[in-house]
Amino acid sequence: MTSSSDGLTALFALVRFRAGDGSEAQLGLVAGERVRPIGPDELGASDLNAFLAETPAAWERLTAAAERDDDGWRPLAGVTLTAPVTPRQVLQAGANYRTHVIDLVAAGRAKNDPRPIDEIRAWAADMMDRRAREGIPYFFIGLPAAVVGDDVDLVLPAYSDQHDWELELAVVIGREAFRVEREHAMEHVAGYTIVNDITTRDLVFREDMKEIGTDWYRGKNAPGFLPAGPFLIPAPFVENPGDLQLTLTLNGETMQDATTSDLLFDIPALISGASQNMPLLPGDLLLTGSPAGNGIVHGRMLRDGDVMMGVIEGLGAQTVRVVAEAGAR
């Protein structure tokens, strides 16, 4: 897989990279089209999560390193980038883009539903507007083991042919957040990255026990189902995370094209809501939801040989190559 800094506007970013085949991933600082290793002395902390716990103020420590002109730099194109963080927890916001939910409701209409499609969409829109006014965010848990970089091919499990894409803006937690109020929530944001939340649609709802509802464990947590990165962009360089353009292309064709202004619950509401139960820890990922344009709406699921490119304004680009597992149907 390849990673791109296209659209990256930050003065610098953090990455994890390998300099050669089989080499261990190390933390790096990216400025322009160059990368350099960065260690505890420059971080002023023992490791990345300890550094993130002191953000956003700690970002100032890296300014001098980003501006240094010496032989410590190497071409970004000459290294392999992987997931920029190793979270201890992954929290995911479900049904958090208004248009996306309306599309899903319309696509999942019962065959015997007599209502015209416009009536169903209007009913779903009213439900979403009421939820935004009166409701609270809906969260489920992802497995940190599913987080990979876009250097790893996405292998489609053979047990289904209904694997779908979901491009998302992901918040990287900085200072620990526990039962924070929304007016203080952004103080706990270290930065942002790109995540493609892969979903196996026919496993989301249990057929053997429909009363139990959604099964996000089986529907989402296969190996490599959370491609992340390649860049961790410091929060101070993202002026308005509530109005970022997100675009996902499949083999060059645009599938998702939206902005984070369509979020039902904004980032402060998500951080506050997620922190009420358990502390959010430095380096954790909080996924904010996926906009309209998933495969279930297009009638086109992922296949062997597909190439997805996810771009979020100011955060760079993520390229994910898809391969079928042996024996896939």
SS3 track for the chain: CCEECCCECCCCEEEEEECCCCCCCEEEEEECCEEEECCHHHHCCCCHHHHHCCCCHHHHHHHHHHHCCCCCCEEHHHCEEECCCCCCCEEEEECCEHHHHHHHHHHCCCCCCCCCHHHHHHHHHHHHHHHHHHCCCEEEEECHHHEECCCCCEEECCCCCCEECCEEEEEEECCCECCCCHHHHHHHEEEEEEEECCEEHHHCECCCCHHHCECHHHHHCCCCCEEECCCEEEHHHCCCHHHCEEEEEECCEEEEEEEHHHECCCHHHHHHHHCCCCCECCCCEEECCCCCCCHHHHCCCCCCCCEEEEEECECEEEEEEEEECCCCC
Residue (of 91, 268, 234) closest to 168 by Cα position: 91
In one-letter notation, the amino acid at residue 136 is I
Q: Please state, in angstroms and rounded to a whole number, the distance separating the CA atoms of residues 244 and 10.
A: 14
Q: What average pLDDT does the segment 305-325 reach?
A: 97
Cβ 319 vs Cβ 5: under 8 Å: no
**pLDDT for position 212:** 82
Cβ 270 vs Cβ 180: under 8 Å: no
**What is the rounded average pLDDT for all residues in the chain?**
92
Under the banding of pLDDT at 50, 70 and 90, the label for residue 327 is: low
**pLDDT for position 209:** 82
Which residues share a beta bridge with 228? 195
Which pair of tokens denotes residue 328?
Answer: 């896939």
**pLDDT for position 111:** 77
In the predicted model, is pLDDT for residue 138 greater than 60?
yes
Q: Please state, in angstroms and rounded to a whole number, the distance separating the CA atoms of residues 145 and 86.
A: 9
Q: What average pLDDT does the segment 20-32 reach?
A: 88
For residue 193, the number of C-alpha atoms closer than 13 Å in the C-beta half-sphere is 33
The vertex-144 CA angle with 192 and 31, nearest 5°, equals 35
For residue 220, the number of C-alpha atoms closer than 13 Å in the C-beta half-sphere is 24
Residue (of 189, 193, 185, 191) closest to 273 by Cα position: 185
**pLDDT for position 3:** 53
Measured in whole angstroms, the distance separating CA 244 from the mean position of its chain's CA atoms is 13
Which pair of tokens denotes residue 160?
Answer: 């289904």
In the predicted model, is pLDDT for residue 15 greater than 80?
yes
Q: Looking up tokens 């032989």, which residue turns up?
A: 71
Summarize pLDDT for 118-135 with one digit per residue, the tens: 888 888 888 888 888 888
The vertex-103 CA angle with 99 and 105, nearest 5°, equals 115
How is domain 90-324 classified at the CATH fold level?
Fumarylacetoacetate hydrolase; domain 2 (3.90.850)
Summarize pLDDT for 80-92 with one digit per residue, the tens: 999 999 999 999 9
In the predicted model, is pLDDT for residue 273 greater than 70?
yes
Domain spans, the chain: 3-82, 90-324
Under the banding of pLDDT at 50, 70 and 90, the label for residue 2 is: very low
Cβ 45 vs Cβ 27: under 8 Å: no
In the predicted model, is pLDDT for residue 329 greater than 70?
no
In the predicted model, is pLDDT for residue 39 greater than 90?
yes
Which pair of tokens denotes residue 118?
Answer: 């416009």
**pLDDT for position 192:** 98
Summarize pLDDT for 192-216 with one digit per residue, the tens: 999 999 999 999 988 888 778 888 9
Q: Please state, in angstroms and rounded to a whole number, the distance separating the CA atoms of residues 221 and 199.
A: 8
Torsion of CA 317, 250, 146, 158, to 10 degrees: -160
